[in-house]
Structure 1
Amino acid sequence: MASFQRKTFLPTPLVPVAGFAAIIFLGSLMLRMLSTSTGAHIPWIDALFMATSATCVTGLSLYDIGTQFSPWAQGTLLLLIQVGGLGIMLLSTVLLMAVGQGISFASRFLIQDTYTYGPRAHLRTFVVRVMLFTLVIETAGAALLVAAFVDRMPWSQAVFHAIFHSVSAFCNAGFSLFSDSLVGYRDSVLVTLVMAALIVLGGLGFLVLHETFRAPRQKRPWPRLSLHSKLALTTTIFLIGAGTVFFLCCEWNTTLARQPLSTKILASFFQSITVRTAGFNSLDFSQMKDLTLLGTILLMFVGASPGSTGGGIKTTTVAVLVALSRARFRGSPCVHAFRRTISDETQRRAFSVFVLSATVVVIGTAFLVGSELSPLPLAESRARFMEILFETTSAFGTVGLSLGATARLSFWGKVTVIALMFIGRLGPLVLAMAIQPRKDSGHYEYAEEPVMIG
């Protein structure tokens, strides 16, 4: 047992990187071998793209999986979505526990840093609860969706569609078996609310779910929540409310035109939730105003909460940066939120995540502009720039929304989007930790010198 714990094949930060890469490779092999509904086999680069999109729970697709993929290929995508949503590190831990193996201290702290903010939680209990939450929520969601789907399709097909969409929604994947995503169900209160609930629960993070479900059993539940949960919940609620009003105002006379008021509110509410990481759509984004697309890009960049199935820079990162900005404007040396002080280390990590993420989006946009727009005339390439920026942010935020650029990607465009989805799922900070050079043993500081700002 002891020898197993001391033996390490990879540096700890590289474990999730290698794990996700291995799952994507195996998934691409399976998709390459499985035939489509017409009996043909998809190209290798397309198989790699689809496997990456499923494992990284993004939802960008080169095919209409509901009509062009066979049931076995759809099942493979579903498996990759579930594995990617829970995280390869968590599943590896479950397997180690199942065979009675020990877990190294390095792996233990990596898992806890991924799924919770500190070492307080007992790892074995925490993993069991994560699996239980996932099973219960996805099962409940599937059961409710069956009631909505069974009116439009046979019972067996309705059950598979319900399971697929429940897992895809909770894992914030955005894959749909319907050609128009959920446009056909935008006036269905049941489908909209169930899918929205699954997306929000999956996007909050397992720690927040655990504390939230436990809170009602305690006196004064809100003060007993951790600062992390308070920031995640308040930021999520604010973004959902502000996003609903934003979509309602911007699209009132365009994609929401000629719709009853109830459908307008319901569709705006759903889009406000799904654009941050899930990728389902009940409105046609290709017909939306540029202002709406710009707001959508910002929401996609923010994403879900830490330790969740979603991507983006995370809600708590934005909350910490807002608290930092407020403290600086007030001239306060300390950064506070909910009567707690946010540590300097947390502030530095939030700023690092923001800068690295913005850098990845800019570089990814530049690569896509070079590969997709360079051969086009100047006027046409400028007209499609918003489309490229939208695609880049959607891939990095693991959202999966597209204005149509995915289906037209060149070989190098597909490679770029694959890299964006991979980086976006693992997080720029995790990758930076994985490839950072060894620190010098010497400890010293240079002399300070002021720099003019502004």
Structure 2
Amino acid sequence: MKRNFLKKRLELTPVQLIVISYFLATFVAMILFSLPVTLKQGVTLSFVDTLFTSVSAISVTGLSVVSIVDTFSVFGIFMLMIVLQFGAIGLMTLGTFIYVMMGRKIGLTHRRLIMIDQNRGNIKGVVQTIRLVLGFALTIEFVGAIIFGTYFYLSGYETTWYEAYYVGLFHALSSYTNAGFDIFGDSLYRFSQDYFVQTLTMILLILGALGFPVLIEIRTKLAKKYPDFRFSLYTKLTTSIFFILILLGALSFFLLEKDLFMANLPWHEKVFHSLFFSVTPRNGGLATLDVNIFSTPTLFIISILMFIGASPSSVGGGIRTTTFAVVLLSIFTFSKGKSEVRVFKRRLATEDIMKSFVVFSTSIMLVITAIILLDSIEQYSLIGIIFEVCSAFGTTGLSMGFTTELSTPGKYVIIALMFIGRIGILSALLFISGKNNKESYHLPEERVIIG
């Protein structure tokens, strides 16, 4: 009897297994990034810097306390790309693909792990989904690498073809995975007037941040195999709010900065700067300009976009677009005196509404706590700390430049934010709480005064 009790105590939930797998992946990444062959000659990394880089890579954030191009060898860059791929697509996704390639059957437990890792609502067709997810990622990254590599070589950005395609491969992967890492040494500053690179980068960022379920449904619709196919409520909702936020972000950026640093710029530069800095905060982290030149209101708007983040089941973090949409719809419904949250001729489930408010409120408390901690530790402006915290939580990677100057305690705060941003607030809460035991009985209901 005692043995059975201990066995039950040692049992882990699928969520806990997922979170532990990301801890282990971080540990493996630390080993890889500590190897002499991974680093350039004469370069060494401290424990906290290695941990910071590993978590940033696993969470595909892009914040870095070291210069990637000056720290890692060519072998190290390829190791970084592998870690970014695992972090973006998900450990269970690539692990399952390896299982399938080996001819092994995927059991129910493994399917549940994949479901949680991909943030899906059920296990139906989950293995087929994994094939599509990996296929999308590799195809998009390959096409992006070819286009970027060819362009970098023909445009003279790189002098040799192999350097051009090497840089093109890394940039395509970093863009699609929304990692935000770069090996140019200056993010995308050199491409501030190159609209081709900016446009293709934005396309890759959007494809990565939209979410795999959306891409799969678009593929199904375009294939025309199912004449009666209709987009799901999830796809309609997340796609709508995703592009609405891009338009509102670009408009806000334009209105706030048109008479400031963009005052003497031609109209096309204003448009591209506004559009790019509305797309990249949604988890991209790449920048064509130094964000320190932006006004405080603009930095605050970008921080909000980073806090919201990308779509669920995507490579991005943050509270996610659907969470933000459901919270807004719920507030709008309540203000109208209605009890059902309706959108696109459908009624949202009460459980999903509750989850959205839990994620939103918990994220707010987490971010505020991190801001207070960093403000008491570091000697930087409040807007700079807010910007850095939202960038870490949203796994974005944009920075006002003081990431490398963070103290050791400050680095640990950012590390925790990046990790939680990757696994998600719900997974973090369920990891702490353990099993989700539903009530076997209901207590009498009593009303309380609210507001």
Query: TM-score w.r.t. structure 1 length?
Result: 0.91
- AA aligned to 2:104 is Q
Aligned-partner Cα distance in 2 for 1:440–1:33? 44
* 1:427 positional shift: 0.5
- AA aligned to 1:92 is G
**Per the alignment, do residues 262 and 117 of structure 1 end up closer, same or farther by CA in structure 2, a change over 3 Å counting?**
same
Aligned-partner Cα distance in 2 for 1:434–1:363? 20
Aligned-partner Cα distance in 2 for 1:406–1:430? 27
Aligned-partner Cα distance in 2 for 1:116–1:49? 25
Offset from partner CA, 1:152-199 (integer Å, 9 cap, x none): 112111101111011111111000112221121122121111110111
2:74 maps to 71
Query: TM-score w.r.t. structure 2 length?
Result: 0.92
The runs of 5 or more residues in structure 2 that have no matched partner are: 1-9
Aligned match for 2:348, one of 342, 346, 363: 342
**Per the alignment, do residues 219 and 264 of structure 1 end up closer, same or farther by CA in structure 2, a change over 3 Å counting?**
farther
Offset from partner CA, 1:113-143 (integer Å, 9 cap, x none): 4436433741221111111111111111111
Is 1:32–1:43's contact at 8 Å kept on the other side of the alignment? Answer: no
Aligned match for 1:404, one of 401, 405, 422: 401
Q: Does 1:168 align with 2:174?
A: yes
* 1:317 positional shift: 0.9
2:29 maps to 27
**Per the alignment, do residues 51 and 207 of structure 1 end up closer, same or farther by CA in structure 2, a change over 3 Å counting?**
same
Identity across the alignment (%) = 34
Aligned match for 2:410, one of 410, 413, 419: 413
**Per the alignment, do residues 44 and 117 of structure 1 end up closer, same or farther by CA in structure 2, a change over 3 Å counting?**
closer
Q: Does 1:97 align with 2:103?
A: no
Q: Does 1:393 align with 2:390?
A: yes
Q: Map 1:8-407 to 2 at 5 A.
A: 10-34=12-36, 36-115=39-118, 117-119=120-122, 121-150=124-153, 151-153=156-158, 154-218=160-224, 224-373=230-379, 384-407=381-404
Is 1:108–1:123's contact at 8 Å kept on the other side of the alignment? Answer: yes
- AA aligned to 1:23 is A
**Per the alignment, do residues 179 and 259 of structure 1 end up closer, same or farther by CA in structure 2, a change over 3 Å counting?**
farther
Aligned-partner Cα distance in 1 for 2:427–2:436? 17
Aligned-partner Cα distance in 1 for 2:436–2:138? 42
1:5 maps to none
- AA aligned to 1:55 is I
Is 1:53–1:418's contact at 8 Å kept on the other side of the alignment? Answer: yes
* 1:405 positional shift: 2.2
Aligned-partner Cα distance in 2 for 1:442–1:184? 58
**Per the alignment, do residues 184 and 363 of structure 1 end up closer, same or farther by CA in structure 2, a change over 3 Å counting?**
same
Offset from partner CA, 1:346-390 (integer Å, 9 cap, x none): 1111111111211221122222223224xxxxxxx5xx1111111
Is 2:112–2:123's contact at 8 Å kept on the other side of the alignment? Answer: no
**Per the alignment, do residues 320 and 261 of structure 1 end up closer, same or farther by CA in structure 2, a change over 3 Å counting?**
same
Is 2:246–2:278's contact at 8 Å kept on the other side of the alignment? Answer: yes
1:377 maps to none
- AA aligned to 1:443 is S
SS at match of 1:73: helix
**Per the alignment, do residues 439 and 37 of structure 1 end up closer, same or farther by CA in structure 2, a change over 3 Å counting?**
closer
**Per the alignment, do residues 440 and 160 of structure 1 end up closer, same or farther by CA in structure 2, a change over 3 Å counting?**
closer
SS at match of 1:434: helix
Offset from partner CA, 1:199-228 (integer Å, 9 cap, x none): 100001111001112223449999810000
The runs of 5 or more residues in structure 1 that have no matched partner are: 1-7, 374-380
- AA aligned to 1:434 is F
- AA aligned to 2:340 is C
Aligned-partner Cα distance in 1 for 2:365–2:412? 18
SS at match of 1:275: helix
Alignment coverage as a number of residue pairs? 438
SS at match of 1:101: coil
- AA aligned to 1:418 is I
Is 1:215–1:222's contact at 8 Å kept on the other side of the alignment? Answer: no
Backbone CA RMSD of aligned residues: 2.2
Is 1:254–1:287's contact at 8 Å kept on the other side of the alignment? Answer: no
1:4 maps to none
* 1:254 positional shift: 3.4
Is 2:180–2:396's contact at 8 Å kept on the other side of the alignment? Answer: yes
Offset from partner CA, 1:387-428 (integer Å, 9 cap, x none): 111111110110011112211111111111111100110011
**Per the alignment, do residues 418 and 355 of structure 1 end up closer, same or farther by CA in structure 2, a change over 3 Å counting?**
same
Aligned-partner Cα distance in 2 for 1:441–1:324? 25
**Per the alignment, do residues 211 and 256 of structure 1 end up closer, same or farther by CA in structure 2, a change over 3 Å counting?**
same
- AA aligned to 1:301 is F
Is 2:371–2:385's contact at 8 Å kept on the other side of the alignment? Answer: yes
* 1:80 positional shift: 1.0
Range moving further from structure 2, 164-173 or 217-226: 217-226
Q: Does 1:433 align with 2:439?
A: no
Aligned-partner Cα distance in 2 for 1:102–1:354? 38
SS at match of 1:224: coil
Aligned-partner Cα distance in 1 for 2:343–2:227? 17
1:378 maps to none
- AA aligned to 1:129 is L
